[in-house]
Amino acid sequence: MAAVSLENWVERIRDPKIECMSRDEMADLQSRRLVDVVDRVYNNVEFYRRKMQQRGVEPGDIKSIEDIEKLPFTTKEDLRDNYPFGLLAIPMKDVVRVQGTSGTTGKLTIAPYSQKDVDVWGECVARGLTMAGLTNEDIIHVCYGYGLFTGGMGLDFGAKALGATAIPMSAGNTKRQMMCMEDLGATAFACTPSYALYLAESIQEAGLVDHMKLKAGIHGAEPWTEEMRKKIESILHINCFDIYGLCEITGPGVAQDCIHKAGLHVHADYFYPEVLNPVTHEKCADGETGELVFTTLAKEAMPLIRYRTKDLTSIDHSTCECGRTLPRISKFTGRTDDMKVIRGVNVFPTQVETALLSMGGVVAPHYMMIVDREDNMDVLTVMVEVDESVFSDEIRKLDALRNKIAATLKTALGLSVRVKLVEPKTIQRSEGKAVRVIDNRNL
Amino acid sequence: MGITIQQLSVFLENREGRLDEVLSVLAGNDVNIVALSLADTTEYGMLRMIVSDPNKGKAVLRDNGITAMLTDVIALRVPHETGSLSRAMHQIVDGDVNIEYMYAFANGSDASAVLKCDDPARVVDILRGSGFDVWEASEAYVSNIK
């Protein structure tokens, strides 16, 4: 119970020279690193050499960061085609570890690291932990999964770089998580936002909120809304921070927001962000939503050039109130993958979450979207839990609640929605990435 | 003297075995069911019960992950004679009180009608004023136990 309010906040910046660098100096640094990385992939990775030759681009054509537009894109399919080590730019003996994510299509997406890549990763996470107000005096309870998934290891490397104490809990066993959190005096915890909410509710139910020393939560690996953040913050009396990353690029720590919660600061000295129109591939202006594309400027093992993340966001290059000049990407509205087109309307799970939470505590933000096709017509059903605060033994009142939720969702999505009330805690709480949508249509 | 008794209400998804689960939790914890009504909609069911110990009933259900709530209801004592419930109902309707739902159970020498309404105090006044009586909680929770 130690949330620090904004008025009493002391901003700490781990690497002010980089994090508060002028735009011109940053562009110089990025240009030098881009020239270097292009040279490395052209000479060491057959895939990139061929792709650049097809476009008629040579390393000599890349002189500054502005020239990045001349370079080809890399997609997740390219990673799959070159699985597992086809994109490696260093000898295998220099690879010190491999992380990965399980793709829905079966094969893993693999991310190899050199020792320097691991150090950069830890450094970037440590910058984020510092943004969250943490120092080497903090005890960080990591309940992201440890293993191939980058969540656990990433936060661990970050805590190590910071000199903080890491408690490598990994995911699962909520009772044990709460016990260790309490007994070992964790001052911060890191996990997915959906598990954070589940854990927060469990702590509240067990009457343990006052027993905790928590002041910060570091959450990422799935899109979440401002309302969900407020919910976790208000239950645990902490500040929650949004950490973003993807294993192909490095893992968590590519970007994170600061106490001002005005977008996620991208560590643009290592990961150069572009926001592009997903169809025309033209650069979006600041504030305009598009697909986030990354180039890893300093990665050794598997540098990626213009990697299409499929995450949708907008970018802001103005200086943040915290003093950092690192560009900020907006909190994610979703992935191009998560978006469902239902009766021609684009729907993101986060829109449903926002709408439910906007009802002011009337419903729990645990929901499941089910998309079916009945008689050639798309039908969206949203399952919403009836918790004790809204449960009534009068069917009339429950029907009124259901109609109210349906009306709220219809306004938010621009689409008629069937609402099905279900028993509390029946929608699965994930300990990893939450599954929010089941699409039963055979498209 | 309490004028209302507590009903244990449970939200049930239309899912196989759900009712069975609720009943076994109560049975396993020695909570006796005096009366029961199950309302069903297309999507969910509402189980309403008068039990021997409503607070314990709610607690044990909760421990088993089942949402239950306690609702104040009136248990009207209805003599075993034709037309007695009809007479009571006339009085309530004349008093302009809306009844949300009702169910009845036999109770030895007479019967009980469980009523949920917006204004229990007024309904009890009306009933007592016209010669009817209501059950006290202590009587209702233990009725029919041999």
Contact residues, chain A, for B44 at CB < 8 Å: 398, 421-422
Mutation pick from B67, B69, B98, B116 vs chain A, by most beta carbons of A within 10 Å, is B67
Q: Minimal Cα distance from A395: which residue of B? A: B46
Give the separation between CA B29 and CA A348, rounded to whole angstroms. Answer: 45
Q: Which residues contact A85 (CB under 8 A, 6 or more apart)?
A: A92, A110, A112
Residue A61 identity (one-letter amino acid): D
Mutation pick from B25, B43, B61 vs chain A, by most beta carbons of A within 10 Å, is B43
Q: Is the pLDDT of residue A69 over 90?
A: yes
Name the residue among A93, A210, A191, A156 with its Cα closest to residue A434.
A191
- Least Cα separation, residue A427 to chain B (angstroms): 12
DSSP single-letter state for residue A306: S
For the stretch B126-137, what's the b/e string if a residue is b when 16 or more beta carbons lie within 10 angstroms of its beta carbon?
bbeeeebebbeb
Enter the ipTM: 0.81
Question: Does residue A396 sit at the B interface (CB-CB below 8 Å)?
Answer: yes
- Between B30 and A440, the more confident residue is B30
Q: Is the pLDDT of residue A240 over 90?
A: yes
3-state secondary structure A174-240: HHHHHHHHHHCCCCEEEECHHHHHHHHHHHHHCCCHHHCCCCEEEEECCCCCHHHHHHHHHHHCCEE
Residue-level pLDDT at A102: 63
Residue-level pLDDT at A1: 47
Number of Cβ pairs < 8 A linking chain A and chain B: 43
Among candidates A396, A423, A425 on the partner chain, residue whose Cβ is nearest the Cβ of B11:
A423
pTM of the model: 0.72
DSSP single-letter state for residue A66: G
Residue-level pLDDT at A168: 97
Q: How far is CA B131 from CA A57, B69, B140, in A?
A: 99, 32, 19
pLDDT digits (tens, 9 = 90+) for A255-265: 999 999 999 99
- Least Cα separation, residue B53 to chain A (angstroms): 18
pLDDT digits (tens, 9 = 90+) for A9-48: 999 999 999 999 999 999 999 999 999 999 999 999 999 9
Structure tokens at A357: 């939470």
Give the separation between CA A64 and CA A29, rounded to whole angstroms. Answer: 9
Contact A393 B12 (CB under 8 A): no
Give the separation between CA A342 and CA A45, rounded to whole angstroms. Answer: 41
Q: Which runs of consecutive H residues, i.e. helices, occur in A60-192?
A: 76-81, 115-131, 150-162, 174-183
Question: Does residue A421 sit at the B interface (CB-CB below 8 Å)?
Answer: yes
Contact A391 B100 (CB under 8 A): no
Structure tokens at A432: 């990893």
Residue with tokens 């990665």: A299
Contact B44 A387 (CB under 8 A): no
| Per-residue pLDDT band at A283 (split at 50, 70, 90) | very high
Q: Minimal Cα distance from A206: which residue of B? A: B63
DSSP single-letter state for residue A416: -
Residue-averaged pLDDT of chain A: 90
Q: What are the two backbone dihedrals, phi and then psi, of residue A387, each rounded to the nearest 5 degrees?
A: -95, 175
Low-confidence ranges of chain B (pLDDT < 70): 1, 143-146
pLDDT digits (tens, 9 = 90+) for A142-157: 999 898 889 999 999 9
Structure tokens at A442: 């055979």
| Per-residue pLDDT band at A430 (split at 50, 70, 90) | low
Q: Which residues contact A145 (CB under 8 A, 6 or more apart)?
A: A151, A152, A170, A171, A431, A432
Give the separation between CA A429 and CA A127, rounded to whole angstroms. Answer: 30
Give the separation between CA A88 and CA A77, rounded to whole angstroms. Answer: 16
Contact residues, chain B, for A392 at CB < 8 Å: 69
Give the separation between CA A316 and CA A325, rounded to whole angstroms. Answer: 10
Q: Is the pLDDT of residue A2 over 60?
A: no
Contact B101 A422 (CB under 8 A): no
3-state secondary structure A359-370: CCCCCCCCEEEE
User: Could you tell me if A177 and A205 are in contact, meaning their C-beta atoms sit under 8 angstroms apart?
Assistant: no
Share of chain A above pLDDT 90, in %: 64
Strands A165-168 and A188-191: unpaired
| Per-residue pLDDT band at A345 (split at 50, 70, 90) | confident
Average pLDDT over residues A62-79: 94
Share of chain A above pLDDT 70, in %: 94
Q: Is the pLDDT of residue A88 over 50?
A: yes
Give the separation between CA B139 and CA B137, rounded to whole angstroms. Answer: 5
Contact A423 B66 (CB under 8 A): yes
Average pLDDT over residues A416-436: 77
* Residues of chain B with a CB closer than 8 angstroms to some CB in chain A: 7, 9, 11-13, 39, 41, 43-44, 46, 48, 65-67, 69, 71, 100-101, 116
Give the separation between CA A270 and CA A116, rounded to whole angstroms. Answer: 12
User: Could you tell me if A125 and A160 are in contact, meaning their C-beta atoms sit under 8 angstroms apart?
Assistant: no
Residue-level pLDDT at A278: 78
Give the separation between CA A426 and CA A438, rounded to whole angstroms. Answer: 15
Residue-level pLDDT at A104: 47
Contact residues, chain A, for B46 at CB < 8 Å: 393, 395, 398
Mean pLDDT is lowest, of A245-254, A348-357, A411-420, for A348-357
Q: Minimal Cα distance from A389: which residue of B? A: B69
Residue A272 identity (one-letter amino acid): Y
- Least Cα separation, residue A403 to chain B (angstroms): 14
User: Could you tell me if B77 and B134 are in contact, meaning their C-beta atoms sit under 8 angstroms apart?
Assistant: yes
